[in-house]
């Protein structure tokens, strides 16, 4: 606040992050807290805050830094009919929610200047969607029977088990399945992108229309597959929502990890329950597994 040339109030300040039972982490609340302090001390007009939502981490110089979970926040702001102010690095992701007016600011000083009517913030623009080249069936030589099975699975949204000796091309074939699937609708792509946004793994706004392909190692735990943790996060099956989940070396997987896939495969959702809260994540994926012939 001082680096932005404002006065930090020299008195006790209480910040109320209600509701108290909702877990809060990360630096996404830095900008809202700073704006709240400046509004409470009369340095920015309170009535100007009624139209906006704020999101962003603050550096000590007042610079706004990127945060996770921007796309769900933008969708919620659109539903509430409010504008969103956020860091420039999050602008392309927020612009994927077409109904929201998302503006970007580089510093706290720019945000305050906009609230005081002295500056107009640039509107975030969604980048052009692109599809990465590579994963195509033209890389597979021969394997007519396996290619046919892959095409039938893609056409009918069937699950698939590939059995063959090491080096026969099971992994290569499985990685080509997303390229055979029809292009995701905008609603499906937004669901998948929102999950990627809150996962902490980052979201590439230029590739948000691509169907996901997840291939966890066989040492992955049941929690890694279905999601969980003290503050529940989506697992591999949710990150593969509307895409493909590939389990290589199927007999090497822990039985308990495989058993937890049964209900999500049937219902298309997974519910993570903890003592304090419950989260439901979508998990409608196409399962492809591979294994060597049993000796």
Q: What is the pLDDT of residue 133?
A: 61
Angle at 148 between CA 247 and CA 152, to 5 degrees: 70
One DSSP character per residue, 243-280 reads SEEEE-SGGGS-HHHHHTTHHHHHHSEEEEE-SS-EEE
User: What is the chain's mean pLDDT, rounded?
Assistant: 89
**Tens digits of per-residue pLDDT, 77-130?**
999 999 999 999 999 999 988 888 999 999 999 999 999 888 899 999 888 777
**Tens digits of per-residue pLDDT, 184-208?**
888 998 999 999 888 877 778 888 8
Q: What is the pLDDT of residue 230?
A: 74
Could you tell me how many residues make up the chain?
295
């Amino acid at each position: 606040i001082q680096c932005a040339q404002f006065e930090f109030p020299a008195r006790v300040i209480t910040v109320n992050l209600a509701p108290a039972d909702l877990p809060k982490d990360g630096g996404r609340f830095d900008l809202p807290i700073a704006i709240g302090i400046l509004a409470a001390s009369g340095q920015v007009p309170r009535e100007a805050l009624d139209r906006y939502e704020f999101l962003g981490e603050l550096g000590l110089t007042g610079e706004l830094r990127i945060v996770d979970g921007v796309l769900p926040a933008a969708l919620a702001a659109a539903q509430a009919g409010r504008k969103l102010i956020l860091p420039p690095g999050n602008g392309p992701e927020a612009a994927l929610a077409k109904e929201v007016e998302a503006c970007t600011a580089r510093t706290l000083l720019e945000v305050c200047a906009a609230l005081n009517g002295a500056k107009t913030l640039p509107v975030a623009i969604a980048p052009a969607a692109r599809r990465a080249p590579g994963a195509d069936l033209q890389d597979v030589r021969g394997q007519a029977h396996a290619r046919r099975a892959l095409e039938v699975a893609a056409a009918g949204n069937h699950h698939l088990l590939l059995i063959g000796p090491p080096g026969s091309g099971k992994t290569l074939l499985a990685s080509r399945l997303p390229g055979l699937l029809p292009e995701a609708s905008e609603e499906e792509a937004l669901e998948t992108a929102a999950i990627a946004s809150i996962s902490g793994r980052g979201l590439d706004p230029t590739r948000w229309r691509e169907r996901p392909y997840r291939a966890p190692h066989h040492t992955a735990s049941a929690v890694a597959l279905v999601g969980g943790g003290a503050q529940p996060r989506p697992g591999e099956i949710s990150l593969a929502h509307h895409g493909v989940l590939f389990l290589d070396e199927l007999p090497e997987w822990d039985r308990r990890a495989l058993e937890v896939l049964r209900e999500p495969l049937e219902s298309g959702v997974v519910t993570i329950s903890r003592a304090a809260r419950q989260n439901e994540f979508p998990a409608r994926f196409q399962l492809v597994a591979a294994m060597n012939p049993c000796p």
